[in-house]
Amino acid sequence: MTNISHATLIEQLKWRYATKAFDPNAKIPAEIWTALEDALVLTPSSFGLQPWKFLVITNPELRAKLVPHAWGQAQIADASHLVVLCAPTKIDVPFIDAYLQDMATKRGIPLSALDQLRGMMVGFVEGMTDAQIASWAAKQSYIALGNFMTSAALLGVDTCPMEGFLPDQFDEILDLPAQGLHSIVCCPAGYRSAEDKYASFAKVRWAKEQVIEHR
């Protein structure tokens, strides 16, 4: 495998910024978008349970309907693609069993070989309140968000992580409750507008010594 250089990694992470203005005419080519979808799917999660669904919305009418429920943020409508990262409202034993069945199939092992793991996972889920499960699931979506943004930056694609929206309104417009889903966080992706002054703003980050401690 060819590793990218450490310099390229840092260069791209400095290049990325929360894009405020996307060029509405600049579309992400299909092969790049496919890689970004693959990056979403490859995101690691706690126990590997993948409690998520990634809605990719390109329909302009649907996106226009979402804008007023996202503080009027134009990125929702203007970016090439909009991803709404969602979590299932219910994570129960059948959900765990479906995952374990998938693991048994993909690894060519008997389901019974996963009994111990199953016991651990069922205990984990049953030991939490619904609110704790919802919070746990939401955290997994944020891992996917980070993975998506970094992958996009490495491919020269701009993104804007967005919590500035009303999840209940998004859920209703996107008919998510009928699918047992709830929206967690959004991420428009595309290419920055040449007019976006935010692209040239200096990064504001705590000093390395302040946030990284070696022991």
Ligand X SMILES: Cc1cc2nc3c(=O)[nH]c(=O)nc-3n(C[C@H](O)[C@H](O)[C@H](O)COP(=O)(O)O)c2cc1C
Nearer to ligand X, 83 or 162 (CB): 162
The answer to whether 130 touches 158, Cβ cutoff 8 Å, is no
Q: How far is the CB of 45 from ligand X (least distance, A)?
A: 17
Choose the stretch contacting ligand X; rule: CB under 6 A; options: 14-22, 88-96, 99-107, 187-195.
14-22
Q: Interface with ligand X includes 17 (CB under 6 A)?
A: yes
Nearby residues of 92 by Cβ (< 8 Å), 6 or more positions away = 125
Nearer to ligand X, 62 or 143 (CB): 143
Q: In what order do the strands lie in the sheet with 53-57?
A: 53-57, 81-88, 181-190, 158-159
Which of residues 4, 10, 18, 41 is near ligand X by CB under 6 A?
18
Number of residues that bind ligand X (CB under 6 A): 11
Q: Interface with ligand X includes 68 (CB under 6 A)?
A: no
Nearer to ligand X, 11 or 102 (CB): 11
Q: What one-character DSSP code corresponds to residue 88? A: E
Q: Interface with ligand X includes 106 (CB under 6 A)?
A: no
Residue 206's SS3 state is coil
User: Computed over its alpha carbons, how large is the radius of gyration of the chain?
Assistant: 19
Q: Can you tell me the distance from the alpha carbon of 177 to that of 173, in angstroms, rounded to the nearest whole number?
A: 10
CA 43 to centroid of chain Cα atoms = 9
What one-character-per-residue DSSP string does 91-114 give?
A: --HHHHHHHHHHHHHHHT--GGGG
Choose the stretch contacting ligand X; rule: CB under 6 A; options: 26-34, 42-50, 83-91, 158-166.
158-166
Structure tokens at 107: 């690894």
Q: How far is the CB of 67 from ligand X (least distance, A)?
A: 12
First to last CA, the chain: 32
Backbone angles phi, psi at 137, to 5 degrees: -65, -40
The answer to whether 19 touches 198, Cβ cutoff 8 Å, is yes
Which of residues 154, 162, 181, 189 is near ligand X by CB under 6 A?
162
Nearer to ligand X, 17 or 136 (CB): 17
Q: How far is the CB of 162 from ligand X (least distance, A)?
A: 4
Interaction mask 167-206, ligand X, x per CB under 6 A: ------------------x-----------------x---
Q: How far is the CB of 88 from ligand X (least distance, A)?
A: 20
Can you give the binding site for ligand X, defined by CB under 6 A? 17-18, 20, 73, 160-164, 185, 203
